[in-house]
Amino acid sequence: MSPALEVGPILRSLRHHKGTFSLLVLEVALGFVMLTHTLILARYYFRLHIYPTGLPEDELVVARRRFLHPRDADAARATVRADLATLAGTGAAVAAIDIAPLPNSADFPTVLARPGDAREHLTWSVRATSDIVAALGLEVVAGTGLDGVKGGHYADGATAVLLTRSVAEQVFGTAGAALGKDVNGNTFGRGRVTGVVRDFAFRGSWVPAAMMISVVAAEPVTEHELVYVMRAAGRPRAAGVEAATRALAGTADADSTIVVTGLDRNATRFATISQGAVIIALWTGFLVVAVALAGSLALASFSVAERTRQIGVRRALGASRKVIVRTFLLENLILTAFGLALGLGLAVAMNQVLRRIMSDLTLTPQEVLASMAIFIGSGLLSALVPARRAAAIPPWAATRTL
Amino acid sequence: MTNLFYNLRLVGKSLQRDRWFTIVMVLSQALSVSIFVTALVSAQRYSNVKGHLRGDVFRIEGDRKSVLSRFYRGTQFESFGEFTANYVSIQTVRALAATGLATGATVSFVSGMAGGPVERPPGRLPVRFVDADQFDLFNIDFRYGGPFTRADERASPPVPAVVLSDVLNQQLYGGADSVGRTMRIAGRDFRVVGVMRQRPGKINLWDFGVAPENVANLLVPFVFADELRPVPVMSWPPMLPDSGWRAIAASPSGITEYWVRLPTRDAQTRFAAALATIAPRMSLRSADEIAFRFSKPPAPYRVFVILTLVVLEVSVINLMRMLLAKATSRAAEIGIHRALGAGRNTIFGRQLVEGVIVSMAGSVLGLVLALPTVAMFDRLIPDSPVALAVTPAIVITVLLVCLLAGLVTGIYPAWRIAAVAPTRYLGKI
């Protein structure tokens, strides 16, 4: 019998059991809504954590000197210069920086604007000493690094600034057009674009627009702590940490402590939160599929028992076991298809509601297709058990009473 | 009464007869409830942040619609864009304090300092600078010891006393009574005089913030700021930290929250007038209004609650299908009951009770399963140092929701099965 011919009796059977089957359709629809959105959430948090930073993370080392007593800025700056010389002695490119490339808490961005232009642009500002391009392994795509301007300041007092390509293009149109132009920032005052670097990002809280970074020439210190970032091309992180620790140990200072760490992207709180959110989202999605599947499997014996006579009659009239199995699978496929069609509509509506809460939760074909595949797969699996049991019903069952 | 017991016994027997089926029904409901509870508990951490706050407490705030709000809109840092409005400059604080109009007032800002228990090597220590009125303004409970006082602050020299948060006391001293211990902060020794008590599972309005150090910190009298030279975690417009504490304190940048107590309407009017002169762009916001803003949990938690509600719905429909299939397979038995005199209402009631029993059993088991799920959530998503807690309010909410879900679940199968005519299946037996 061709599958097309089987659809007629199946549809009649669906109509006969419309109560039970409409519940199944509704369950598949809501399960689909749920699963697509847990997949969207999982993707959102995965991307928050795993994205290309454009930094040679395996080589980056961060060193901190913490003062036990607050130290005046001038004295702190003298310490910075001495430490930079010491660390450069290890063969690494090194820079003092105001925030380590793995910030552990959210920070306010800097507001940039061109003189005479009212438009404001938000960028993450990094203040650092002249060797920052080499220390972070950045690639200059136009102009020079901060070391191209002596002392980090132009003769007229403007501060040297590097922009990532994203910022340069947003503010000036192209990377080339940005070179030599003035730009004002609410943290550093009047600046001038010395160079444009390829997009890079710090991990952690620097979202959204993680690649919007401005690097400002400065000798960043606080009265409590100094932070350095360094890297030697080709030298692995562990060796870098060891070299820096050994070098700084020689600079005995009773009133400070030194902490040197490699840049481990999994070490930040935000990385942990994002990873955790992915796991929770997937667990929630798994639950909904598991609940639906468990229900359907448990129903197997009932759905067969209820239709013993019907199947017996069909067997007596010549239907093979294979045909009976196929009927059950086809029936389930039709129901799942109804459910998914309804679910798709509901998912789009739900997505509208959720995007009002979190605009990044966009519904894409990937989630829709993945969820459909999962529901069709689990639907067929849940139909296979009653189908096989039904196929085992002998033709004489038709003559039996209940 | 006998009738009731008879019916209940029949329901019990029905549940026992297909034991595995009943177990699957209860378990699937329980799993859905467990994740729903987890979502409610995690959202609850950020709601009802007001706690036992007095009604006459106000905060000085700036414009909430800064350039940052649109930058963060729709992301998981949504409310962060408005945080800039919470900060006032030290200059403004000093000018307002000089008016003497508030009966109580405190600054409140966090700074990362070097320090820790004196017997250990110093590490990074989150410190919140406050005035002694902090404890009275926010009705802060103590686990051990008590607050530092105005008298401590005004003594010459001021008494070096600090108060630990519950969470930091847990981290540094394993939760033991640390009153009398010495903490060294930026090279200065302080005596621990008290450990605050943290409400289970809820953040407090006064230490609401995005960074973990907002909760796991140490309260230090603001009178020591000039000596310790803090670097405030937040400043707006941003201040460069290398300008040093004196420059930061003298600048017009906002770096601290400023809370005041104004018990009478007259005091509020006079204070608002003074504020209009000292800082025209600032305004007075009541704690109620601020708490109301936080009545909605952050965006990802709202999404999570909505999605787990859908899981619960799926589970309810699943249960309905199972109950319906089970009841339909018993149609003949129902037919006999009907033929022997059971009315439609009796059959309906019996089925409904069966649905509610399964649903409630699933809910109670779900609440039990929620304990490890909540613990797992807390470990996987260390969003705040305040541990999540399944509070009585959550338990009651969940039980009520599940009772409603149980009724909804039971009604359709019960209605369908009660409609079975007594004669329908009798001939087939």
- Please tell me the predicted confidence (pLDDT) of residue B424: 64
Segment A319-371, tens digit of pLDDT: 888 888 888 888 888 889 999 999 999 999 999 999 988 888 899 999 999 99
In three-state secondary structure terms, A121 is strand
- The strand pair at A213-217 and A189-197 is best described as unpaired
User: Which of B67, B238, B381 lies at the smallest CB-CB distance from A276?
Assistant: B381
- Please tell me the predicted confidence (pLDDT) of residue A42: 94
Chain A residues within 8 A of B332 when measuring between CB atoms: 402
Helices vs. strands in chain B: H and E counts, helices first: 15, 10
ipTM of predicted complex: 0.82
**Tokens at A78, concatenated:** 């003298």
For chain A, report the end-to-end CA distance as a whole number of angstroms: 28
* Residue A169 reports pLDDT greater than 90: yes
User: Which of B24, B238, B324 lies at the smallest CB-CB distance from A186?
Assistant: B238
CA dihedral B214, B219, B224, B226 (to 10 degrees): 0
Work out the burial of residue B237: count CB atoms within 10 Å of its CB; fewer than 13 is exposed, 13-18 middle, 19 or more buried.
Answer: middle
Q: What secondary structure letter does DSSP report for B256?
A: B
- The strand pair at A213-217 and B161-164 is best described as unpaired
Chain B residues within 8 A of A66 when measuring between CB atoms: 114, 122, 124
In degrees rounded to 5, what are phi and psi of residue B66? -85, 170
- Taking CA atoms, what residue in B is nearest to A400? B428
Chain B residues within 8 A of A360 when measuring between CB atoms: 74-75
User: A164 - beta bridge partners?
Assistant: A197
List strands edge to edge, sheet with A93-96: A93-96, A225-231, A61-67, A256-262
- Please tell me the predicted confidence (pLDDT) of residue B412: 86
- Please tell me the predicted confidence (pLDDT) of residue B324: 86
| This prediction's pTM | 0.84
pLDDT band at A309 (very low <50, low <70, confident <90, very high): confident
**CB-CB contact of B37 with B391 (8 Å):** no
Query: What is d(CA A350, CA A343) in angstroms, rounded to the nearest whole number?
Result: 10
pLDDT band at A402 (very low <50, low <70, confident <90, very high): very low
Segment B159-187, tens digit of pLDDT: 999 999 999 999 999 999 999 999 999 99
Closest-CA distance, A110 to chain B, in angstroms, reads 8
* Residue A302 reports pLDDT greater than 80: no
**CB-CB contact of B357 with B15 (8 Å):** yes
Query: What is d(CA A250, CA A17) in angstroms, rounded to the nearest whole number?
Result: 83
Residues B313, A30: C-beta atoms closer than 8 Å: yes
User: Which of A106, A224, A354 lies at the smallest CB-CB distance from B80?
Assistant: A106
Segment A214-228, tens digit of pLDDT: 999 999 998 888 999
**CB-CB contact of B106 with B58 (8 Å):** no
Opening angle at CA A196, ends A194 and A198, nearest 5: 155
**CB-CB contact of A328 with A310 (8 Å):** no
pLDDT band at A233 (very low <50, low <70, confident <90, very high): confident
User: B218 - beta bridge partners?
Assistant: B127, B164
Work out the burial of residue B213: count CB atoms within 10 Å of its CB; fewer than 13 is exposed, 13-18 middle, 19 or more buried.
Answer: buried
Can you tell me the mean pLDDT for A228-244? 90
Can you tell me the mean pLDDT for A363-384? 92
Closest-CA distance, B416 to chain A, in angstroms, reads 9
Residues B329, A305: C-beta atoms closer than 8 Å: yes
Query: What is d(CA B386, CA B212) in angstroms, rounded to the nearest whole number?
Result: 9
Opening angle at CA A172, ends A168 and A173, nearest 5: 90
* Residue A181 reports pLDDT greater than 90: yes
All residue ranges of chain B with pLDDT < 50 are 429
In three-state secondary structure terms, A158 is coil
User: Which of B67, B74, B304 lies at the smallest CB-CB distance from A120?
Assistant: B67
Q: Which residue has the higher pLDDT, B272 or A14?
A: B272
- Please tell me the predicted confidence (pLDDT) of residue B429: 47
Radius of gyration for chain B, computed over Cα atoms and rounded to the nearest angstrom: 29
Segment A17-45, tens digit of pLDDT: 777 788 889 999 999 999 999 999 999 88
Query: What is d(CA A361, CA A43) in angstroms, rounded to the nearest whole number?
Result: 9
- Please tell me the predicted confidence (pLDDT) of residue A324: 83
**CB-CB contact of B385 with B165 (8 Å):** no
- Please tell me the predicted confidence (pLDDT) of residue A350: 95
Mean pLDDT score across all residues of chain A: 87
- Taking CA atoms, what residue in B is nearest to A222? B242
Query: What is d(CA A263, CA B100) in angstroms, rounded to the nearest whole number?
Result: 50
Query: What is d(CA B71, CA B34) in angstroms, rounded to the nearest whole number?
Result: 35
Best of A223, A278, A297, A304 to mutate (most B CBs within 10 Å, chain B): A223
- Please tell me the predicted confidence (pLDDT) of residue A137: 93
Map tokens 């807690």 to a residue: B389
User: Burial code of A340-375, b = ≥16 C-beta within 10 A, e = fewer?
Assistant: bebbbebbeebbeebbebbebbebeeebbeebbebb
